[in-house]
Homo-oligomer: A and B are copies of this chain.
Amino acid sequence: MKTLDIDLGARSYQVRIGRGLLSSADEIVPWVAGAQACVVTDQTVAPLYLDTLRATLAAHSHSAKQTQVQVVAHILPCGEPHKNLAEVERIFECLLRARCDREATVIALGGGVVGDMAGFAAACYQRGVPFIQIPTTLLAQVDSAVGGKTGVNHALGKNMIGAFHQPRRVVVDIATLDTLPRRQFAAGMAEVIKVGLIHDAEFFMWLERNMQSAMARAPAALEFLIQRSCHNKARIIEQDERERELGARALLNLGHTFAHAIETGAGYGKWLHGEAVATGLAMAAYMSAQLGWISKREQQRIERLLTAAELPIAPFGGLSAARMLEIMRVDKKARHGNLRLVLLKGIGNAEMVADYPAQVLQDTLTHFTV
């Protein structure tokens, strides 16, 4: 069992990482603020883990004088295409029908999409209610469950609607990865590799040596890489909770401006987010190498690690360079028409830049769109 402290003043919380935490009332029940909990999950996760969580919430915790928690559950349709305002409105309906008050606690049980939507519902229901994250995918465990970003997509742009709303606790039960399909597991690894690329060269090298056991889901490897990823992210969030312009948090967008354009352009749901991020990382590496900021050998190491994690890095069809650029300009990283990108000046050394020749971006987009 590992614990990470996220230090955000009045909004501080802990991330707990271990096997079997979903069954531990002491890990969850004391963080339910009032007498009501609304579990938000999806059609994939509900049959696997909802009963376990219900049983845990029904049990009395040893560490708190908690009255019985009244539990309602809302089951979302699966995946990014349903990550929209209309589905969040249905979460509000569930909360209202259960007469949830301002101390009711929303619990996200699922992957990144469930966490984003449940978190946004918690941020907006009665102007904000308590929130607990129980991420069940690798991507959510290493990335999206920590940091308080919540939100939904708009038909005209990904993650364009949202709020910052920190959870009161993040409970990572590594056992939930046992049921995660291989493609989803690989997608989560893209964010792990990103963490190393941004500011942890030592971790990147660990991944180069240990990717095989990580992909085989060896418990020790998993526990280490989840903790290391969350630790890295926590230090960034503590510096820059709300993603200020040019703040530390902006670096977390390495590969993401490309990835968002791929996802928006292809239509939500065609690519897994992590797959788009992997290709986005390959694009950032390619562009950085073209600019002479990293060596060809470093670019190859990045491509090799992404490939070892069974992630796509090849040029893709169905989307023109011009369309990619158009979408990127609407993306939240574009300001006053100037397209800022996070690129690499080395492995473990990402930087936000805007002073590159426009042609190099054009070449990169052309190279990857077939």
Query: Which residues of chain A have a CB within 8 Å of any CB of chain B?
Result: 34-35, 85, 88-89, 92-93, 96-97, 99, 101-103, 123-128, 149, 151, 154-157, 160-164, 242-243, 245, 329-330, 332, 334-336
Candidates B89, B127, B329, B334; contact of A151 at CB < 8 Å: B127
Copies in the complex: 2
Given A34-B335, A127-B243, A245-B102, decide whether A96 and B154 contact each other with a Cβ distance below 8 A. Answer: yes
Candidates B97, B103, B126, B332; contact of A156 at CB < 8 Å: B97
Q: Which chain B positions have C-beta within 8 A of A34?
A: 335-336
Q: Which chain B positions have C-beta within 8 A of A127?
A: 149, 151, 162-164, 242-243
In the complex, the answer to whether A336 meets B35 with C-beta atoms within 8 Å is yes
Q: How far is the CA of A137 from the CA of B123 in the complex (A)?
A: 29
In the complex, the answer to whether A156 meets B101 with C-beta atoms within 8 Å is no
Within the complex, the shortest CB–CB distance from A52 to chain B, in Å, comes to 27
Given A124-B161, A330-B99, decide whether A156 and B93 contact each other with a Cβ distance below 8 A. Answer: yes
Candidates B125, B149, B161, B243; contact of A161 at CB < 8 Å: B125
In the complex, the answer to whether A101 meets B157 with C-beta atoms within 8 Å is no
Q: How far is the CA of A124 from the CA of B335 in the complex (A)?
A: 18
In the complex, the answer to whether B245 meets A124 with C-beta atoms within 8 Å is no
Chain B residue nearest to A102 (CB atoms) is B332
Q: How far is the CA of A129 from the CA of B128 in the complex (A)?
A: 18
11 contacts between A and B (CB under 8 A): A35-B336, A92-B160, A93-B156, A97-B156, A99-B329, A101-B332, A126-B162, A126-B332, A127-B162, A127-B163, A127-B242
In the complex, the answer to whether B85 meets A89 with C-beta atoms within 8 Å is yes
Q: Which chain B positions have C-beta within 8 A of A128?
A: 163-164, 242
Q: How far is the CA of A155 from the CA of B101 in the complex (A)?
A: 16
Within the complex, the shortest CB–CB distance from A108 to chain B, in Å, comes to 17
In the complex, the answer to whether B89 meets A335 with C-beta atoms within 8 Å is no
In the complex, the answer to whether B154 meets A101 with C-beta atoms within 8 Å is no
